Amino acid sequence: MHDVRFSDRACPLCAADQKEMVLALTADQIFSGNWSYQPQQLAPLRLPGDAVFPIVRCLDCSFVYASRLPDSDFLGAVYDQIIDASAAKLYSFGIESMAARMRYVSRLLRLLEGGAAAPSILDFGCGFGPTLALLSVVGSVQAFGFDTSAVRVDELRRNGFQVSRDITETKRMAPFDAVILDNVLEHMANPSEALQLIRSLCRDTAIVFVGVPDANTTFLRRQQILLGRGIAASMEINPWEHLNYFDMQHLDALLASQGFLPLTQAELPGEVEIGLRPERQLTPRLKNAVASLGRLARYGLLGDRRQSVNARFYRCGGTQP
């Protein structure tokens, strides 16, 4: 498919151009797998339903990414005409979403204990503002937001939040004691460049929270099977919006390249999670118990706890690389 709104893309981590196919989704498959897209609204994108959008693996560093980069006009159509903003906002403030935010905000605040009396926190890519709403009730915290959407920024400002869509204005608020990147890096055409910017906004002792969809090998294989059976893939598989697909290895490597180091296990507050989950049936419980025994042994020997790219904490390594 030749469409001037899309350009070919090299690996965003190592810049190599040799790649192999992982998944190939049609426009219809992308649309049908996303509950936030308004029904019967594919027309504004001016795409045939069978137009193919590849997700590939770099043959040099093995990073997985969308190989075709949409331009700003196409993304504007997706965000302004295709996404149901009211449904997306309702989900952002829903129980599941807010519970997850409470967990990482709680841990972040504990990591900042003993530091600045009034720590400044930047929610970069704040969206509709659910995390800012949580931070706003903590009296000692100075919470700021950044988002590229003029509509969302204007609404948040009307509701009393300190938010900007101007990076120069945001830089004047810096340096920050912590930065939140909650479901941001997967959207970035150049995540390394984005992290260079984030590093410039941080104090040398700052904490950075990163949450991205977990695109590990098992997850990707499952999506291949689903698509092969004609079943819609997860909405996390979306080469229009999600340009980058991280596992732990590649996320840590990306952050390290810009001077961010993962916090050690001893630095992370809270109970150790080894993977036990409630299961109604005996067989899944036994499988989970066996797997958790292995994780428990690893924690005992190495100090490693069960972790995920869904919620990862980093500390600035000092000076910028």
Q: Which two tokens stand for residue 209?
A: 């929270």
Element (H, E) at 88: helix 85-92
Question: Is 281 in the same domain as 221?
Answer: no
The candidate with the shortest Cα–Cα distance to 103, out of 263, 281, 269, 264, is: 269
Question: Is 84 in the same domain as 34?
Answer: yes
Dist CA 62 CA 58 (whole Å): 5
Residue 189 lies in a domain: no
Residue 208 lies in a domain: no
The residue out of 245, 262, 292 marking a domain boundary is 245
Residue 149 lies in a domain: no
Residue 262 lies in a domain: no
Dist CA 65 CA 316 (whole Å): 26
Question: Is 289 in the same domain as 219?
Answer: no
Crossing angle of the two packed helices 191-201 and 248-257, in degrees rounded to 10: 50
Please tell me the predicted confidence (pLDDT) of residue 179. 98
Question: Is 222 in the same domain as 293?
Answer: no
Residue 95 lies in a domain: no
Contact criterion met (CB below 8 Å) for 170 and 143: no
* Residue 120 pLDDT > 80: yes
* Residue 156 pLDDT > 90: yes
* Band of residue 320 on the pLDDT scale cut at 50, 70, 90: low
The candidate with the shortest Cα–Cα distance to 148, out of 122, 126, 133, 168, is: 126
Contacts 24+ apart (CB under 8 A), 299-302: 299/272, 299/274
pLDDT, mean of residues 114-120: 88
Strands 19-26 and 52-58: antiparallel
The residue out of 245, 262, 294 marking a domain boundary is 245
Residue 219 lies in a domain: yes
The candidate with the shortest Cα–Cα distance to 203, out of 180, 181, 182, 174, is: 174
Q: What is the pTM of this model?
A: 0.89
Question: Is 287 in the same domain as 231?
Answer: no
Please write the tens of the pLDDT for every residue from 239-288. 999 999 999 999 999 999 999 999 877 777 766 666 666 777 878 777 77
Please tell me the predicted confidence (pLDDT) of residue 280. 76
Residue 261 lies in a domain: no
Q: How many domains does the chain have?
A: 2
Question: Is 70 in the same domain as 19?
Answer: yes
Query: Reduced to 3 DSSP states, what percent helix, strand and coil does the chain have, rounded to the nearest 5?
Result: 40, 20, 40
* Residue 121 pLDDT > 60: yes
The domain in which residue 284 lies consists of 273-304
Residue 130 lies in a domain: no
pLDDT, mean of residues 309-320: 82
Please tell me the predicted confidence (pLDDT) of residue 278. 75
Contact criterion met (CB below 8 Å) for 116 and 79: no
Please tell me the predicted confidence (pLDDT) of residue 116. 83
* Band of residue 301 on the pLDDT scale cut at 50, 70, 90: low
pLDDT > 70: what percent of the chain? Answer: 92
Question: Is 27 in the same domain as 78?
Answer: yes
Please write the tens of the pLDDT for every residue from 196-242. 999 999 999 999 999 999 999 999 999 999 998 888 889 999 999 99
Strands 202-211 and 176-182: parallel
Dist CA 211 CA 214 (whole Å): 9
pLDDT, mean of residues 286-301: 72
Dist CA 126 CA 65 (whole Å): 23
Question: Is 76 in the same domain as 18?
Answer: yes
Dist CA 107 CA 270 (whole Å): 7
**What contacts 314, CB < 8 A, 6 or more positions away?**
207, 208, 209, 210, 255, 260, 261, 262, 263
pLDDT, mean of residues 97-117: 93
* Band of residue 2 on the pLDDT scale cut at 50, 70, 90: confident
Of 299 and 7, the one with more pLDDT: 7
